[in-house]
Amino acid sequence: MIRAAIAGGTGYTAGELLRILIRHPEVEVTDVLSTTSAGKPITSFHRDLLGETDLIFTDKLSGNEDVIFLCLGHGLSREFLDTHELPEGCRIIDLGNDFRTEPDYKGRHFVYGLTDVFKDQIDGCDCVANPGCFATCIQLATVPLAALHLLKDEVHVTAITGSTGAGRKLSETTHFSYRNDNISVYKPFTHQHLAEIRQTLGILGGSCPQVNFVPMRGDFTRGIFASVYTRCDMDAEGLNELYKNYYSDSPFVFVSDEPVNLKEVVGTNKCLLHVESHNGYAHVTSIIDNLTKGASGQAVENMNLMFGLDRTAGLRFKANYY
Q: What tens digit of pLDDT does each residue of 292-321 get?
A: 999 999 999 999 999 999 999 999 999 988
How large a percentage of the chain has pLDDT more than 70? Answer: 99
Task: Supply the pTM of this predicted model.
Answer: 0.96
Spatial CB neighbours of 201, under 8 Å, sequence gap ≥ 6: 139, 142, 143, 146, 151, 208, 209, 211
Average pLDDT over residues 33-39: 92
The pLDDT, as a whole number, for residue 179 is: 81
Residue 133 designated active-site: yes
By the 8 A CB rule, do 11 and 33 touch?
no
Which residues on adjacent β-strands are paired with residue 288? 224, 271
Alpha-carbon distances, residue 169 vs 80, 234, 237 (angstroms): 20, 45, 45
DSSP H or E run through 203: helix 194-205
C-beta contacts of 251-259 below 8 A and 24+ residues apart: 251/311, 251/312, 252/116, 252/293, 252/301, 252/312, 252/315, 253/116, 253/140, 259/285
Q: Given pLDDT bands bounded at 50, 70 and 90, which one contains residue 170?
A: low
Structure-model confidence comparison of residues 169 and 189, the more confident one: 189
DSSP H or E run through 212: strand 211-217
The pLDDT, as a whole number, for residue 164 is: 86
Say if residue 143's pLDDT is above 70.
yes
Say if residue 268's pLDDT is above 70.
yes
CA dist 21 and 26 (Å) reads 9
Tell me yes or no: is domain 133-290 CATH 3.20.20.70.
no
The pLDDT, as a whole number, for residue 312 is: 98
Beta pairing, strands 211-217 & 271-278: unpaired
The pLDDT, as a whole number, for residue 291 is: 97
Residue 82, classified by CB atoms within 10 Å of its CB into exposed (0-12), middle (13-18) or buried (19+), is exposed
For the chain, the domains span 2-131+293-306, 133-290
Domains 2-131+293-306 and 133-290 share a fold: no
The pLDDT, as a whole number, for residue 315 is: 98
The pLDDT, as a whole number, for residue 7 is: 97
Mean pLDDT, all residues of the chain:
95
Q: Could you report the per-residue pLDDT of 183-230, keeping only the tens digit for each?
A: 999 999 999 999 999 999 999 999 999 999 999 999 999 999 999 999
Q: Could you report the per-residue pLDDT of 45-100, keeping only the tens digit for each?
A: 999 999 999 999 999 999 999 999 999 988 899 999 999 999 999 999 999 999 99
Spatial CB neighbours of 127, under 8 Å, sequence gap ≥ 6: 91, 92, 93, 94, 99, 108, 109, 110, 111
- The angle that helices 194-205 and 133-147 make with each other, rounded to 10 degrees, is 20
The pLDDT, as a whole number, for residue 52 is: 93
Say if residue 174's pLDDT is above 80.
no
Average pLDDT over residues 106-112: 97
Tell me phi and psi for residue 124, to 5 degrees.
Answer: 75, 5
CATH number of 2-131+293-306: 3.40.50.720
Of the candidates 71, 125, 127, 133, the residue annotated as catalytic is: 133
Say if residue 237's pLDDT is above 90.
yes
Q: 3-class secondary structure for 171-199? A: CHHHCHHHHCCCCEECCCCCCCCHHHHHH
